[in-house]
Amino acid sequence: MYFFSCPSSLVTLIACYVPFLALLSELVAASPSKSGFRRATTCNGSPDLCDRSFGNVTFVGTHDSYAVGVNNLAANQDYNISQQLKDGVRMLQVQVHNQSGTLELCHTSCLLYDGGPFSAYLETVKSWLDANPNEVLSILVVNSDGFPPTAYDSLYKSVGLDTVSYAPPSASMPASQWPTLGTLIDSGTPLITFMDANAEFTSVPYIISEFTNVWETPYDVTTTFDCSVNRTDGDPSTQMYLINHFLDEMLLGQPVPDPGQANETNAVSGPNSLGAQVELCVSEYGRSPNFMLVDFYEYGGGSVFEVAAAANGITYSPTTPVA
């Protein structure tokens, strides 16, 4: 508590209240969520995005972000998540399996590809968020073996991610009602976690049900990408949406990643390119996708980020080359 006792003469009165006004200004600045004061002047690399609703921004995401490897049919990425985040990826998709009671990052089966415990992955995410306070990041969890949200809550708390996670006011929100990137940053909750199955708003509100808030296009595409609604538990006309833009090829009757086509698949333009799918979706729905999941994101030399910049109406001007 602060107390001030000032004399009654006008000159001394003004002089007395100068430090009080300075202190008041500091207190207001320290409470951005209550005052509306914005600390963040650049959000996700652009000042133009700070006033933009999360539901009105396009983010590059990595499909099976943890599945990193060379000459491995189960690998979808060439670089680990630290490099992915450094390059500009802002949605990390993971697939979580039950490995003897541990939440493990595996691709279809832990025998096929074991990416290690989810807890270690989350520690890397927490370190990156701490070092990059002006960035909003999403995690999309494919809850393959149906863990309850409380199991994820325990992991998030163990690494300190629960305190930086955004909890919406309701289990479902239309795209237009999500907070701005600046608000998420200023309130200290820049992490948004979606889960495809078993989310429970009443028990763990920051583990957000994906399909009541986001719809998806078809996945495991081996021919041509389209913009049809493949999975949703809500109203696609008002929900955010995600396009699955990773091309597979068939091997022994199973779809596997196709890095041989990745330069064309991730391109800004051309047949079956990421840019072409975004343009198609905009023509059908009148708005850009919120999330674009890709494999081998660095193929195209940054083209996936160029597509995102165009969708967001900002200039693509990287300060460093993509890995």
Q: Residue 107 catalytic? A: yes
- Which residues have CB under 8 Å from 36's CB, separation 6+? none
d(Cα 289, Cα 281) in Å, to the nearest integer? 7
Q: What angle do CA 86, 108, 83 make, to 5 degrees?
A: 10
Contacts of 173 (CB under 8 A, 6+ apart): 55, 213
| The residue type at 18 | V
**Residue 320, exposed/middle/buried by CB under 10 A (0-12, 13-18, 19+)?**
exposed
Which of 32, 55, 58, 63 is flagged as catalytic? 63
Q: What is the rounded CA–CA span in Å between residue 87 and residue 83? A: 6
Q: What angle do CA 173, 179, 185 make, to 5 degrees?
A: 140
Does the active-site annotation cover 245? no
276 vs 292: CA distance, rounded Å: 12
Q: Choose the catalytic residue: 107, 199, 234, 262.
A: 107
Write out the catalytic residue numbers. Answer: 63, 107
